[in-house]
Amino acid sequence: MKFRTPVSSILLMALFIGCAGREPTPGVTDTEILIGNIQDLSGPMKELGMALPHGANLYFNYINDKGGIHGRQIRMTMEDHQYNPQKAVAAAKKLIEQDQVFCLYQVIGTSPCEAIRSLLEENEIPLIAPATQSGTMSDRSRTGWKYIFHTDTGYDKQANILVDYAYEQNAEAKVAVLYQDDDYGANVLKGIAEAEARHGVTVQKEAFQRGATDFAGQVMNLNKGGATHVIIGGVVREPIIAMKTAAAMGYAPQFLGISPTMDHRVALGSGEAGEGFIAANFAQLYNSDVEGAKLYRKLFAASGTDPKVMGMYNFYGFMTAMILVEGLERAGKRLTRDGLIKAMEGIKDFDGKGVFPGISYGPNDRAGTDAVVLVINEGGKQRIISDWIE
Amino acid sequence: MTDTLGGLTQEVVSGVALGCIYALIALGFTLIYKATEVVNFAQGELMMVGAYVNFFIVTALLDIPLLNGAMGFLLAFAGAVAFAFLFGTFLDLIINRPLKDEPVFSVIMATISMAIILRAVMALIAGPMTRLPVSPFGSGVVKIGGIVISVHDLFIISSAVALVCGFYFFFNRTKWGIAMKATSEDPMAASLVGIPVKKVYRNVWIFSMVVATVGGVLLAPKTLLDTNIGFLGLKAFPAAVLGGFGSIPGAIVGGVILGVIETVSMGTLSFHFPWVKEINDIIVWIVLIAVLMIRPAGIFGREEIDRV
């Protein structure tokens, strides 16, 4: 009888300590990790909205079938922000507060990602692999930088590399940039300004609005300015029209493109005008020989999805899923948000089965990689013509 | 100097081609406005629908050996126009008829709703990917002096001119055209003198849908095809106002003026005066307001004086 009280109180204390140590992490149960994804399902980038998560799920399902991560299955829930920053904030709030997701992943678009920075900081919730190549994502002067792990090479770095490439090809080159007048273009211009300072030159700059249908004015100006190398910071439609307009005017500079122009449709749609067009990309192509791409093709074929959509967007989802999974694996069995951040910071030279140049993070480093490969268009087919360039 | 002049001429030529696209959409606005005094805000979307229907037929015919060339394009175009007839009739049935005696405002709201619905439905049917239609006229260009114009653009210009002339003739010289004008002036009086007002309304919606289809078919290979190309309608609207809302020659004149201003300000003007780049987006609207200040009814518009 005498012993009872101390023993039971010790047991009780042990129970409390146990509970305190195991405060449940949102979105994590013994069997499942819930992650949140915000895509544009009905706005201007809707083409990517279904493709990215589909590709990511190919890899998640592959991992789940192998037993999951430390016994937990990954499940992804999605919201639509229509590429609207306000709606992105509402969607992130819902995912964090209502659905109680463990972390955010692949939120698409520069402006939407910028808009949810303070939410990330307030809730101390990580965002892994935002689906934008804007260099601002890994900018440590911005709110919530600690929670964002950017995978892709920034537009600014890509622009730098492309200017260098132009001068390597031809020391007498006259470089110009044709950029989209928005956040994306601003980040490209930032890189151009750095390159101008390094090379001591002035780059001719021509702007266009997203969705522009006529490029006669800009192309005339590029021609008048005598540009021999034109870097295009556009997406799909605009580079095609610009190159076709130039070809129609008999003006044939070397066109170079920032990674969104790597879309296969640019190569297909520009026809002869786009022959020899070179685009930068932050990863190997989905149809390349690296192990990651082979695995992707195998899983894609097994999923029974229309092979027509096998291209870069599904693959983008797939490869970034590998990074998230790597982080979750490293974070261990006792999964917490802080644990994931520490685990991500420990990733060094992760190449995702050969797909990436080597992704590294650190306590003060949120930019996954600074390198690109160059992809040339030859008769509507794309071929990689360089090693990783930094 | 000759360089600048050559550049300017090239920009004007490109601007005319661009302006003719605006003109084709503006013509659609004008036709409906002329007969019913309704501004159809779904005009750009009608163009998008026409372009998609044409694209679907061309794609379907690609697999049939005999029909994957010029014949296929012709058949697809005929199919798209046939669809335009049906769809125009349908629009008249669901928008115009039920709202015939309601305030014009209700009809305009209905057209805005229709625009949103068409965009959404087409996105469901066609999927989210941008399509890449090829030009039936190939990618050839014509060179005159130093000026280059693509064969496709030449077709755009000639179609716009032909349609505008055709409709001008129709409204001023034919019985049906004059009946349409009379209907817009006073539907009650028109029906009293035996003009079948309902038929007039239906035809004008059909015409407008056909014009939109022609515009869409010509535009799609130039700008590629997605569900947002209908927003071009918003640019054609100032073109119609500039030329004088309700005036058929005004549609093409307004369209061409806007197209030329756009390319020249984006080109030569921006090249010599970099600050122009910053205001490129609003130049069109500045010109619009300036013209309206001097000629409130637009360049070709008639000022109507209501008797009290």
Inter-chain residue contact B271 with A237, CB threshold 8 Å: no
Inter-chain residue contact A237 with B128, CB threshold 8 Å: no
Q: How far is A272 from chain B (nearest CA, A)?
A: 9
Parallel, antiparallel or unpaired: strands A373-378 and A381-384: antiparallel
Contact A385, A285 (CB under 8 A): no
Q: Within the 227-266 window of chain B, which residues sit less than 8 Å (CB to CB) from chain A? A: 228, 231-232, 259, 262-266
User: Span A155-281+374-384: which CATH code?
Assistant: 3.40.50.2300
pLDDT at A6: 62
Residues in chain B closer than 8 A to A225 (CB atoms): 271
List of E strands, B36-167? 141-144, 147-150
Inter-chain residue contact A216 with B10, CB threshold 8 Å: yes
pLDDT at A233: 93
Residues in chain A closer than 8 A to B149 (CB atoms): 248
Q: In this complex, is the C-beta atom of B71 within 8 Å of any C-beta atom belonging to chain A?
A: no
Q: How far is B263 from chain A (nearest CA, A)?
A: 5
Q: Which residue of A has its CA nearest to B232?
A: A213
- ipTM > 0.85? no
Q: Which residue of B has its CA nearest to A208?
A: B266
pLDDT tier at B72, thresholds 50, 70, 90: confident
pLDDT at B1: 47
pLDDT tens digits for range A119-139: 999 999 999 999 998 889 988
Q: CA of A207: how far to CAs of A150, A157, A176, A230, A256, in Å?
A: 27, 19, 11, 12, 16
For the four alpha carbons of A48, A53, A54 and A56, in that order, the dihedral sign comes to: positive
SS3 content of chain B, % helix, strand, coil (to 5): 75, 5, 20
| pLDDT exceeds cutoff 80 at A8 | no
List all residues 6 or more positions away from A68 whose beta carbon is below 8 Å from its beta carbon. A74
pLDDT tier at B304, thresholds 50, 70, 90: low
Q: Of A213, A224, A240, which is closest to B271 when you measure between CB atoms?
A: A224
Interface test with A, best of B2, B5, B11, B14 (most A CBs within 10 A): B14
Rg value, chain B, Cα: 20
Residue A44, classified by CB atoms within 10 Å of its CB into exposed (0-12), middle (13-18) or buried (19+), is: middle
pLDDT at B127: 78
Residues in chain B closer than 8 A to A248 (CB atoms): 139, 141, 148-150
For the domain A32-153+287-359, what is the CATH superfamily, name and number? Response regulator (3.40.50.2300)
Inter-chain residue contact B130 with A216, CB threshold 8 Å: no
Contact B239, B252 (CB under 8 A): no
Residues B274-295: what's their mean pLDDT?
83
Q: How far is A213 from chain B (nearest CA, A)?
A: 5
- Order the strands of the A373-378 sheet from edge to edge: A204-208, A175-180, A229-233, A254-257, A278-281, A373-378, A381-384
| pLDDT exceeds cutoff 90 at A325 | yes
Q: In this complex, is the C-beta atom of A275 within 8 Å of any C-beta atom belonging to chain B?
A: no
Structure tokens at A249: 């005017």
| pLDDT exceeds cutoff 60 at A364 | yes
Report residue B253 CA to chain centroid gap: 13
Residues B285-295: what's their mean pLDDT?
86
Residues A213-241: what's their mean pLDDT?
89
Residues in chain A closer than 8 A to B281 (CB atoms): 209
Inter-chain residue contact B262 with A217, CB threshold 8 Å: yes
Parallel, antiparallel or unpaired: strands A278-281 and A373-378: antiparallel
Domain ranges within chain B, ordered by starting residue:
19-227
Report residue A248 CA to chain centroid gap: 34
How far apart CA A203 and CA A247 sit, in angstroms, is 22
Question: CA angle, corner B149, sides to A166 and B276, nearest 5?
Answer: 60
Interface test with A, best of B20, B150, B266, B272 (most A CBs within 10 A): B266
Contact B184, B35 (CB under 8 A): yes
Parallel, antiparallel or unpaired: strands A175-180 and A229-233: parallel
Contact A88, A47 (CB under 8 A): no
Residues B38-56: what's their mean pLDDT?
92
Inter-chain residue contact A216 with B271, CB threshold 8 Å: no
Q: Where are the alpha helices (DSSP H) in chain A?
A: 4-21, 46-49, 51-65, 85-93, 110-115, 117-123, 155-169, 183-199, 216-224, 237-248, 264-269, 291-303, 312-331, 337-345
pLDDT at B246: 81
In percent, the amount of chain A with pLDDT more than 70 equals 94
Contact B8, B264 (CB under 8 A): yes
pLDDT tens digits for range B138-190: 777 888 877 888 888 899 999 999 999 999 999 889 998 888 888 888 888 88
Contact B68, B78 (CB under 8 A): no
In percent, the amount of chain A with pLDDT more than 90 equals 62
Residues A258-274: what's their mean pLDDT?
87
Residues in chain A closer than 8 A to B7 (CB atoms): 220, 224
| pLDDT exceeds cutoff 50 at A1 | no
List all residues 6 or more positions away from A204 whose beta carbon is below 8 Å from its beta carbon. A174, A175, A176, A177, A221, A222, A225, A227
How far apart CA A345 and CA A7 sit, in angstroms, is 43
Residues in chain B closer than 8 A to A50 (CB atoms): 128
Q: Of B10, B222, B224, which is closest to A220 when you measure between CB atoms?
A: B10
Inter-chain residue contact B123 with A46, CB threshold 8 Å: yes
Length of chain A: 390
Interface test with A, best of B224, B225, B279 (most A CBs within 10 A): B224
| Least confident range of A7-21, A68-82, A344-358, A362-376 | A7-21
In percent, the amount of chain B with pLDDT more than 90 equals 29
pLDDT tier at A377, thresholds 50, 70, 90: very high
Inter-chain residue contact B128 with A50, CB threshold 8 Å: yes
Interface test with A, best of B13, B154, B223 (most A CBs within 10 A): B223
Question: Fold identical between A32-153+287-359 and A155-281+374-384?
Answer: yes
pLDDT at A125: 95
Structure tokens at B305: 């004086």
Q: Of A44, A214, A225, which is closest to B228 when you measure between CB atoms?
A: A44
For the four alpha carbons of A170, A171, A172 and A176, in that order, the dihedral sign comes to: positive
| pLDDT exceeds cutoff 90 at A189 | yes
Tokens 């798209």 found at: B80
| pLDDT exceeds cutoff 80 at B280 | no
Domain ranges within chain A, ordered by starting residue:
32-153+287-359, 155-281+374-384
Q: Which residue of A has its CA nearest to B219?
A: A213
Q: In this complex, is the C-beta atom of B36 within 8 Å of any C-beta atom belonging to chain A?
A: no
Q: In this complex, is the C-beta atom of B7 within 8 Å of any C-beta atom belonging to chain A?
A: yes
pLDDT at B278: 77
pLDDT tens digits for range B116-130: 999 999 988 887 777
Q: Which residue of A has its CA nearest to B227?
A: A44
pLDDT tens digits for range B199-256: 888 999 999 999 999 999 998 888 888 888 888 888 888 888 888 888 888 889 999 9
pLDDT tens digits for range A267-320: 888 888 899 999 999 889 888 889 999 999 999 999 888 887 788 889 999 999
pLDDT at B262: 87
Q: Within the 192-221 window of chain A, which residues sit less than 8 Å (CB to CB) from chain B? A: 206-207, 209, 211, 213-214, 216-218, 220-221
Q: In this complex, is the C-beta atom of B186 within 8 Å of any C-beta atom belonging to chain A?
A: no
pLDDT tier at A209, thresholds 50, 70, 90: confident
